[in-house]
């Protein structure tokens, strides 16, 4: 195909797959090719793309790369086959019709350069004509051995025994059958429909061991859930399991026989035997490897999606603003590290308390906490959920009644805190603090602004995934980077307070530009407007265009700088305010008046009168109605407690609130304030059937649950969200 035909083919295929109009897809492709970021296109180029959202834009980008790579590979293969003089019209048509790499590689397989094989050695001996005669099966009489004798001596002078000649010709036929793209495609489909994955233990496996259920296990491959694939793969890597995929071999052999056996020929038995050997030695092992690889890739992709979905919810937890927080990183022997941070996250005090063994300075620790609460007017105690967490929670609960003013505590997921403490980012932010104290600062800041703090940590360390350590590190990193980028740009960033890691995630910036922004901020104190960003070295018009709308300047000279309105649309925003007889200062002085005025305006009429796109006008009205809006305000706030529960105190039937910590394929783990998270199995999430737990809950959701069972021996808690009392459900 010509370049233009290829582009049109890709364009129409993408439009069909995404169920989007061709013009919108074409413009989106152009915007991506021009270097525009997905967040920028999704928010500020809606007219061009037909309001394609961020999810669809990312799908478009991934599929566009795939299809372009597919076309590149198609042309590489075509060129190789053409140069070999083997490109027939039929093969050219098959190459053009191939819609996946697998089909392309099947077509290319007979022409791919190979290492020296039995078939290639047979060709060197001049046996390919004999193989062609054997496969054609036109001879109804005669002796195959006599026919084979005509092929001795070989071109290299070697004397060939007729049986050796027949064996060599059969090797060539085996290769032809094994490389038949039609047979491979049909066998692959058969394995999909009828293949059964079977596992068995390599030794004695206790039923309660991680691989106990797989000691003798079978399931059709089309029904194996991703988490099971990952578990089986891990068991095989650890040499605990043997794994096979089995298919009905008789049916598979009939496929080959229907294609290759022709009537009553002297060669029939030879071709039949070659088909059996091709199936047993080449095709079935290749199909099994391919399907195992496909199952694993699909499971990895699913795990990445689960991790990404959970990470998004974790990052978008509601911030607890305007609170002074004591962060406690609990431990036994080395003591609990303590940090007090003010509402901006600035560190006011650090130290350590030793309430637990071996020191057992319980009273001193309580008095220290009370003194800090009074001295710094602390509002909340944030306790990491690691070692000694529940014991430290007991200390916090005990001092609640003695606090000089109302104080609450919360148990915070501390995953990744130790990684942050030892990072270059932590060293740059907290250079005067010991590594052990930085974790307490991170825990305190996490409850104030989860996104701003968690963005500093490698997302793979945050523990909200499914077998995340088993999946491709590169694929996981790329996917999670997209999630972090999406979250940061959906919230917006205060350019005068944001850290380098947070700024680095802003559309169009990156680490280098973020460092320069912070450096310039250090020189001038604060940015008074978005336009001042153009004074930062390295931030030119393109970078400014991509980033400005996602950066906030609070209390600056231009009120629109604290809204989602992009500087390129400031004139439209001013015109809208003029039509409502409102001054720009009203945004900060009396936002309710702007909200009422915006609600009374018709976006469609305004767009027509102002000769602007309706989506942009809608967005401007929404931004004017809620300047400085943080979408996380709509998320559930963290649960703050003043008393403590224990696992021993739990009783079946108890109903309580909990926070969803992780969502996996089979259910959700919920923190109900005791030493272990409880599991709500997917079957206990709803009275209706759920395909996925994500239909019912998300990470950081606050949910009402009922205790079903408490297993003190295995330290497991079973919870339910079904059939709750109506006033609590």
* Locus of tokens 């950081």: 700
Interval 203-211 mean pLDDT: 71
**Interval 346-403: pLDDT, tens:** 999 999 999 999 999 999 999 999 999 999 999 999 999 888 888 899 999 999 989 9
What are the φ/ψ torsions at residue 687 (nearest 5 degrees)? Answer: -75, -15
Q: Rounded to whole angstroms, how far apart are CA atoms 269 and 277?
A: 12
pLDDT grade for 207, boundaries at 50, 70 and 90: low
Query: In the beta sheet, which residues pair with residue 330?
Result: none
Interval 506-523 mean pLDDT: 94
Q: How far apart are the first and last CA of the chain?
A: 60
Beta carbons within 10 angstroms of residue 255's beta carbon: 17
Q: What distances in angstroms separate CA 717 from CA 148, 395, 679, 686, one per listed residue?
A: 74, 24, 6, 18
- The CATH homologous superfamily for domain 511-634 is Tex RuvX-like domain-like (1.10.150.310)
Shortest CA distance to 288 belongs to which of 196, 179, 216, 199?
Answer: 196
Q: Is the pLDDT of residue 445 over 90?
A: yes
Shortest CA distance to 641 belongs to which of 406, 408, 436, 393?
Answer: 408
Q: Which of 472-486, 561-575, 629-643 has the lowest mean pLDDT?
A: 629-643
Q: Rounded to whole angstroms, how far apart are CA atoms 7 and 15?
A: 12
Q: Name 37's Cβ contacts closer than 8 Å, sequence gap at least 6.
A: 485, 507, 508, 546
Supply angle C-alpha 364, 367, 369, rounded to 5: 110
Interval 185-193 mean pLDDT: 93
Q: Rounded to whole angstroms, how far apart are CA atoms 459 and 477?
A: 8
Q: Is the pLDDT of residue 304 over 50?
A: yes
- The CATH homologous superfamily for domain 118-303 is Tex N-terminal region-like (1.10.3500.10)
pLDDT grade for 729, boundaries at 50, 70 and 90: very low
Predicted confidence at residue 2, as pLDDT, reads 64
Q: What distances in angstroms separate CA 344 from CA 319, 447, 554, 588, one per listed residue?
A: 12, 12, 14, 21
27 alpha carbon, distance to own chain's centre: 26
Predicted confidence at residue 630, as pLDDT, reads 83
**Interval 53-102: pLDDT, tens:** 999 999 999 999 999 999 999 999 999 999 999 999 999 999 999 999 99
Q: Rounded to whole angstroms, how far apart are CA atoms 591 and 611?
A: 26
pLDDT grade for 137, boundaries at 50, 70 and 90: very high
Instruction: Name the most confidently modeled range: 177-181, 226-230, 412-416, 597-601.
Output: 177-181
Shortest CA distance to 301 belongs to which of 167, 519, 455, 478?
Answer: 478
Predicted confidence at residue 462, as pLDDT, reads 78
Query: In whole angstroms, how large is the CA radius of gyration of the chain?
Result: 33
Return the CATH class of domain 655-720: mainly beta
Q: Is the pLDDT of residue 726 over 70?
A: no
Q: Which helix (H) or strand (E) holds 24?
A: helix 22-33
pLDDT grade for 590, boundaries at 50, 70 and 90: confident
Q: Which of 304-318, 465-479, 583-597 has the lowest mean pLDDT?
A: 465-479
Better-scored residue on pLDDT, 2 or 39: 39
The dihedral sign for the CA sequence 457, 459, 462, 467: negative
CB 587 within 8 A of CB 563: yes
Mean pLDDT of the chain: 90
pLDDT grade for 416, boundaries at 50, 70 and 90: confident
Predicted confidence at residue 467, as pLDDT, reads 64
Q: What percent of the chain has pLDDT over 90?
A: 66
Beta carbons within 10 angstroms of residue 13's beta carbon: 15
- CA dihedral (157, 160, 165, 168) in degrees, to 10, reads -60
pLDDT grade for 1, boundaries at 50, 70 and 90: low
Q: Is the pLDDT of residue 727 over 50?
A: no
Return the CATH class of domain 325-448: alpha beta
Q: Rounded to whole angstroms, how far apart are CA atoms 317 and 631?
A: 10
Predicted confidence at residue 208, as pLDDT, reads 63
Q: Is the pLDDT of residue 439 over 80?
A: yes
Q: Is the pLDDT of residue 466 over 90?
A: no
**Interval 647-702: pLDDT, tens:** 888 889 988 888 888 888 889 999 888 878 899 999 999 988 998 899 999 888 88
**Interval 17-63: pLDDT, tens:** 999 999 999 999 999 999 999 999 999 999 999 999 999 999 999 99
Predicted confidence at residue 539, as pLDDT, reads 94
What are the φ/ψ torsions at residue 217 (nearest 5 degrees)? Answer: -135, 140
Q: What is the pTM assigned to this prediction?
A: 0.83
Q: Rounded to whole angstroms, how far apart are CA atoms 454 and 113?
A: 50
Interval 531-548 mean pLDDT: 95
Query: In the beta sheet, which residues pair with residue 719?
Result: 680, 707
pLDDT grade for 415, boundaries at 50, 70 and 90: confident
pLDDT grade for 615, boundaries at 50, 70 and 90: very high
Q: Is the pLDDT of residue 728 over 60?
A: no
Q: Rounded to whole angstroms, how far apart are CA atoms 544 and 46?
A: 19
Shortest CA distance to 76 belongs to which of 95, 89, 59?
Answer: 95
Q: Rounded to whole angstroms, how far apart are CA atoms 522 and 346?
A: 16
Name the token pair of 224: 């194996």
Interval 185-212 mean pLDDT: 86
Q: Is the pLDDT of residue 468 over 70?
A: no
Listed by start position, the domains of the chain span 3-111, 118-303, 325-448, 511-634, 655-720
Q: Which of 323-327, 346-350, 480-484 has the lowest mean pLDDT?
A: 480-484
Predicted confidence at residue 196, as pLDDT, reads 95
Interval 609-618 mean pLDDT: 92
Q: Please write down the HEC assignment for all residues of 105-125.
A: HHHHHHHCCCCCCHHHHHHHC
**Within a 13 Å sphere around the CA of 161, how many CA atoms are in the beta-carbon half?**
3
What are the φ/ψ torsions at residue 497 (nearest 5 degrees)? Answer: -125, -15
Q: What percent of the chain has pLDDT over 70?
A: 97
Q: Rounded to whole angstroms, how far apart are CA atoms 699 and 227?
A: 18
Predicted confidence at residue 62, as pLDDT, reads 94
Interval 453-469 mean pLDDT: 77
Three-state DSSP at 390 gives helix
CATH level 2 (architecture), domain 3-111: Orthogonal Bundle (1.10)
**Interval 246-259: pLDDT, tens:** 999 999 999 999 99
């Amino acid at each position: 195909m010509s370049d233009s035909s290829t582009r049109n083919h890709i364009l129409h295929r993408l439009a069909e797959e995404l169920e989007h109009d061709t013009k919108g897809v074409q413009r989106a492709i152009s915007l991506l090719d021009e270097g525009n970021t997905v967040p920028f296109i999704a928010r500020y180029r809606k007219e061009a793309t037909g309001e394609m959202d961020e999810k669809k834009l990312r799908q478009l980008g991934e599929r566009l790369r795939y299809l372009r790579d597919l076309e590149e590979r198609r042309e590489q293969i075509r060129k190789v086959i053409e140069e070999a003089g083997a490109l027939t019209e039929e093969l050219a048509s098959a190459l053009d019709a191939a819609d996946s790499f697998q089909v392309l590689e099947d077509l290319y397989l007979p022409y791919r350069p190979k290492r020296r094989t039995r078939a290639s050695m047979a060709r060197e001996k001049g046996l390919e004509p004999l193989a062609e005669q054997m496969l054609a099966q036109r001879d109804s009489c005669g002796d195959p051995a006599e026919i084979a004798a005509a092929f001795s001596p070989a071109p290299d002078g070697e004397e060939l025994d007729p049986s050796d000649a027949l064996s060599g010709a059969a090797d060539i036929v085996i290769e032809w059958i094994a490389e038949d793209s039609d047979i491979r495609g049909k066998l692959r489909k058969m394995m999909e429909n009828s293949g059964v994955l079977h596992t068995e233990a390599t030794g004695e496996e206790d039923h309660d061991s991680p691989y106990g259920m797989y000691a003798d296990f079978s399931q059709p491959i089309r029904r194996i859930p991703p988490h099971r694939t990952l578990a089986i793969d891990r068991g095989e890597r650890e040499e605990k399991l043997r794994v096979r995929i089995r298919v009905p071999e008789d049916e598979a052999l009939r496929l080959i026989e229907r294609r290759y056996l022709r009537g009553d020929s002297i060669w029939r038995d030879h071709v039949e035997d070659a088909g059996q050997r091709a199936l047993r030695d080449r095709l079935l092992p290749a199909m099994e490897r391919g399907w195992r690889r496909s199952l694993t890739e699909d499971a990895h992709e699913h795990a990445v999606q689960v991790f990404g979905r959970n990470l998004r919810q974790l990052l978008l937890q509601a911030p607890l603003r305007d609170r002074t927080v004591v962060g406690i990183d609990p431990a036994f022997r080395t003591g609990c590290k303590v940090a007090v941070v003010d509402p901006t996250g600035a560190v006011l005090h650090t130290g350590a308390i030793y309430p637990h063994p071996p020191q057992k300075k319980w009273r001193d620790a309580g008095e220290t906490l009370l003194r800090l609460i009074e001295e710094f007017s602390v509002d909340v105690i944030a306790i990491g959920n690691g070692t000694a967490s529940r014991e430290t929670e007991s200390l916090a609960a005990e001092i609640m009644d003695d606090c000089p003013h109302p104080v609450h505590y919360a148990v915070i997921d501390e995953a990744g805190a130790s990684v942050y403490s030892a990072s270059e980012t932590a060293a740059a932010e907290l250079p005067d603090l010991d590594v052990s104290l930085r974790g307490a600062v991170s825990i305190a800041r996490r409850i104030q602004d989860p996104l701003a703090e968690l963005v500093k940590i490698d997302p793979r360390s945050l523990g909200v995934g499914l077998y995340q350590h088993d999946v491709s590190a590169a694929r996981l990193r790329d996917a999670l980077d997209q999630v972090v980028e999406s979250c940061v740009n959906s919230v917006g960033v205060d350019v005068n307070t944001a850290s380098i890691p947070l700024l680095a995630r802003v559309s169009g910036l990156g680490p280098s530009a973020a460092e320069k922004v912070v450096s310039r901020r250090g020189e001038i104190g604060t940015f008074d407007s978005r336009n001042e960003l153009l004074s930062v070295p390295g931030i030119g018009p393109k970078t400014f265009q991509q980033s400005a709308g996602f950066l906030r300047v609070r209390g600056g000279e231009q009120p629109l700088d604290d809204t989602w309105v992009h500087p390129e649309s400031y004139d439209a925003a001013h015109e809208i305010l003029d039509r409502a007889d409102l001054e720009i200062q009203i945004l900060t002085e009396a936002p309710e008046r702007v909200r009422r005025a915006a609600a009374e305006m018709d976006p469609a009429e305004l767009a027509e009168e102002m000769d602007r796109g309706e989506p942009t006008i809608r967005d401007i009205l929404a931004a004017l109605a809620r300047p400085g809006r943080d979408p996380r305000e709509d998320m559930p706030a963290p649960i703050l407690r003043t008393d403590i529960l224990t696992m021993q105190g739990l009783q079946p039937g108890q109903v309580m609130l909990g926070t969803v910590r992780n969502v996996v394929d089979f259910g959700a783990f919920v923190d109900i304030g005791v030493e272990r998270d409880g599991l709500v199995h997917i079957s206990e999430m709803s009275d209706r059937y759920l395909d996925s737990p994500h239909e019912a809950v998300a990470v950081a959701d606050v949910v009402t649950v009922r205790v079903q069972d408490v297993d003190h021996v295995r330290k497991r808690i079973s919870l339910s969200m079904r059939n709750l009392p109506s006033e609590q459900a």
